[in-house]
């Protein structure tokens, strides 16, 4: 519902091409907003047609031509309007939890493997977020001040991943407790 506005925000701080934005989604906002390149290109088209964006074609020699998008005054106004409007809390749809919920119908081994896969992903995400945080703390005070709000979203990512991994440990303990039956080597 707010890919539109995520794009407006990114372009407000710096104009860029669709490819540009796609990368910024992947690297920057990736831990709280995801978008495929197809979706970004389509949305840019729509936002231009709505009059919120303008672009100039930019021919390049060694690289493919690109379109450089920037906010129009109408786009800026729309962004401010949206910021004043309440956003509705996120609803969560988490397939892993659906699977766990039904865990009694499959093997503990299967669940453990699944958890291992997800743990690896979450650990990697956490590592990269922590490294971004270290960079942030290394910045001079004025730059930190300017990045104050994005930093808060980074904190959400970090606390969220840490909490997820803490939960994963609980799950692993619980899955171990049930295993002795299937691997009765101990006694």
Partner DNA sequence: TGACCCATGTAAGGGGTTACATGATTTG
Partner DNA sequence: CAAATCATGTAACCCCTTACATGGGTCA
- Chain residues that interact with DNA, rule: CB under 7 A: 1, 3-4, 17-20, 22-23, 34-39, 41-42, 44-45, 60, 62-67, 91, 93
Closest CA to 87 of 32, 146, 18: 32
| Residue 187 in tokens | 């006694």
Residue with Cβ nearer DNA (38 or 153): 38
Q: 58 forms bridges with which residues in the sheet?
A: 66
- Binding characters for a copy of itself, 118-137, by CB under 8 A (x = yes): x--xx---------------
Among DNA, a copy of itself, none, what binds residue 50 when CB lies within 5 to 8 Å by partner kind?
A: none
Angle at which helix 3-13 crosses helix 18-27, to 10 degrees, equals 100
Residue from 87, 127, 139, 144 in contact with a copy of itself (CB under 8 A): 87
Among DNA, a copy of itself, none, what binds residue 41 when CB lies within 5 to 8 Å by partner kind?
A: DNA
Residue with Cβ nearer a copy of itself (27 or 117): 117
| Residue 113 in tokens | 């493997």
Rounded-to-integer distance, Cα 104 and Cα 170, Å: 17
Among a copy of itself, DNA, none, what binds residue 36 when CB lies within 5 to 8 Å by partner kind?
A: DNA
Residue with Cβ nearer DNA (45 or 122): 45
| Residue 53 host element (H or E) | strand 53-58
Rounded-to-integer distance, Cα 74 and Cα 81, Å: 10
The separation between the first and the last C-alpha atoms of the chain, rounded to the nearest angstrom, is: 56
| Contact between 82 and 90 (Cβ < 8 Å) | no
| Residue 18 in tokens | 């669709």
Footprint of a copy of itself (CB under 8 A):
1-3, 5-6, 9, 12, 29, 31-34, 79-80, 82-84, 86-106, 110, 114, 117-118, 121-122, 146, 148-150, 152-153, 155-156, 159-160, 162-164, 166-167, 170-171, 174, 178
């Amino acid at each position: 519902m707010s890919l539109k506005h995520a794009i407006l925000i990114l372009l407000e701080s710096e104009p860029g091409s669709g490819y540009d934005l796609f990368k910024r989604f992947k690297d920057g906002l990736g831990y709280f907003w995801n978008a495929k390149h197809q979706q970004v290109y389509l949305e840019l088209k729509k936002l231009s047609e709505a009059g919120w964006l303008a672009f100039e074609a930019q021919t390049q020699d060694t690289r493919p031509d690109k379109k450089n998008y920037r906010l129009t005054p109408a786009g800026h106004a729309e962004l401010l309007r949206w910021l004043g409007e309440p956003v509705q809390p996120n609803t969560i749809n988490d397939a892993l939890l659906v699977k766990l919920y039904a865990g009694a119908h499959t093997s503990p081994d299967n669940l453990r493997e699944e958890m291992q896969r997800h743990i690896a992903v979450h650990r990697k995400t956490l590592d990269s977020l922590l490294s971004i945080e270290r960079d942030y703390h290394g910045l001079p005070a004025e730059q930190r001040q300017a990045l104050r709000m994005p930093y808060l979203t980074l904190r959400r990512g970090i606390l969220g991943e840490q909490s997820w991994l803490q939960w994963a440990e609980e799950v692993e303990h619980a899955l171990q407790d049930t295993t002795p039956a299937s691997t009765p080597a101990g006694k």
